[in-house]
Amino acid sequence: MNKIINGGDILNNYWAIFEKRKNNFFRFDTRVYLNLLGNPTDKDICIGAVVGKNPGSALPSLYNCPTLQEIELDGDQLLPNIRSIFLKAYKRSNKLMQKNSYIQVLNLLYICNKDLSQAIKTIADYPNQIICDTEEKHFPFLWYLWGNDNKNLNLYKNRFYDLVANIHFYLDTNTKVIIPNYPALNDSARHTQVTTETVPVSVRCLSPYKDWKSVDDLCCSDLN
């Protein structure tokens, strides 16, 4: 979602820094803003982060830009799903949403490719792991969305066990239970979709961990 306003500024919900390395694009500092924003800055409010596999089909709007720029989704649904989930969470939790708040999107691989198998194969051509500087932040929460056990991805998961956050958790795909910890390499951390499970999870993200039990009652209401 974006539009042109007076003066030519572009408002967008999805921003990132794109870099081209060896003819492949990498996407860093990916942000999902809950409100339309025209000029993202380092002073904006990161309310937490999610960890996915790799950037899919989303593309840069400008190919020679070293700063945050608007993301052309090109059919990619992950970022809109994340925004939709947290908009519902704010509505249901009755919490104040700051105008410049965003969710940070981290990835196991930062190479852009909608074909995960091809992304894994291509990243092997790079001698060192290419990671995003935002992984050094202290996050209010880290929600793991990296899917099922995958021997080709597991070697990229270990570094996330060193990331700093107030809460680490994932939604177990098999039991549909929220696990307040890192997923083990063989655990299945459900990929995000707007469902009756994921919206309650995001409501919990907006609440201190000590209040999670009391949030359960709120999560039982109808999503519609």
- Give the per-residue pLDDT at 222: 32
**Distance separating alpha carbons of residues 200 and 217, to the nearest angstrom:** 10
All residues at 6 or more sequence positions from 65 whose CB lies less than 8 Å from its CB, including other chains: 18
Q: Which residues of the chain are modeled with pLDDT < 50?
A: 1, 6, 194, 196, 213-224
**pLDDT attached to residue 194:** 41
In this predicted structure, what is the pLDDT of residue 219?
39
| pLDDT value of residue 178 | 81
**Cβ contacts of 33 within 8 Å, gap of 6 or more:** 12, 13, 14, 15, 40, 44, 83, 100, 101, 102
Cα separation, 196 vs 221, whole angstroms: 10
Closest CA to 156 of 179, 124, 194: 124
Q: For 41-182, where are the E strands, in sequence order?
A: 45-52, 59-60, 69-72, 101-107, 138-144, 164-171, 178-179
User: For position 44, what pLDDT does the model report?
Assistant: 97
Q: Which two tokens stand for residue 17?
A: 């820094």
Q: Which amino acid, residue 1?
A: M
Residue 41: per-residue pLDDT: 94
* pTM (2 d.p.): 0.87
DSSP-derived secondary structure letter, 90: H
